[in-house]
Amino acid sequence: MPFLIFATGNPHKIKEVSQLLGDAWDIRSLPEMGITEELPENQDTLEGNALEKARYIYEKLGENCFAEDTGLEIEALGGAPGVYTARFAGEDKDPDANMNRALELLRGQTNRRARFRTVVALILDGREFLFEGIAEGNIRLEKSGAQGFGYDPIFEPDGFTQTFAQMDAALKNRISHRGKAIQKLIAFLSSRATH
């Protein structure tokens, strides 16, 4: 079974991605590798941050790995918070404070269009590959739901009347930014495995 490190310590991301990758791949997260430090994220793009995290782990452990970075891009805010999504309301990365800031900035705003974008960076035998996943939708007027994490309670994806936080994990995974990026990663890995 191919061995691959998922360069994250975020338990929510580990859970979502493990559900998608199933048993076909032996995926290890950073806590399983004994790594608890925060990874560097000093770039000003999602692509840059995903690559920075993957390169850091590839150089440290010398094992094939992938990392991802995700941002929420709100149209009426000119695409903000984007790469600064985690720290939108401050350095403590508090999800409630982040959502409150977004709701506050959009108060009275009729254009509530937004999208989540995930970039996955894979390093396989020293070669780098990027995969992108996008989920389009709207920012709700208030929070709803308790599943998921981060901004899920205020994001309603197109084609649904629930927020991500009101969906079960399997449905979110099928239509989400991260789910789509990981599905591309799986297709790429599967095609290589059969060649």
- Which residues are at the interface with ligand IMP (CB under 6 A)? 10, 69-70, 72, 85-86, 93, 95, 98, 148-152, 164, 176, 178
Backbone angles phi, psi at 115, to 5 degrees: -145, 150
**Least separation, in Å, of the C-beta of 136 and ligand IMP?**
14
Q: Is 152 a catalytic residue?
A: no
Joined tokens for residue 107: 């108060």
Instruction: Considering the candidates 23, 69, 92, 94, report the single residue annotated as catalytic.
Output: 69
Q: What are phi and psi of 25, to 5 degrees?
A: -125, 140
- Based on CB atoms, which residue is closest to ligand IMP, 72 or 123? 72
Question: Cβ of residue 81: shortest distance to ligand IMP, in angstroms?
Answer: 8
User: Under DSSP, is residue 11 helix (H, G, I), strand (E, B) or coil?
Assistant: helix
Could you tell me if 1 and 26 are in contact, meaning their C-beta atoms sit under 8 angstroms apart?
A: yes
DSSP string, 115-130: EEEEEEEEEETTEEEE
In angstroms, what is the minimal distance from the CB of 164 to ligand IMP? 6
User: Closer to ligand IMP at the Cβ: 119 or 123?
Assistant: 119
Q: Hey, which residues are catalytic here?
A: 69
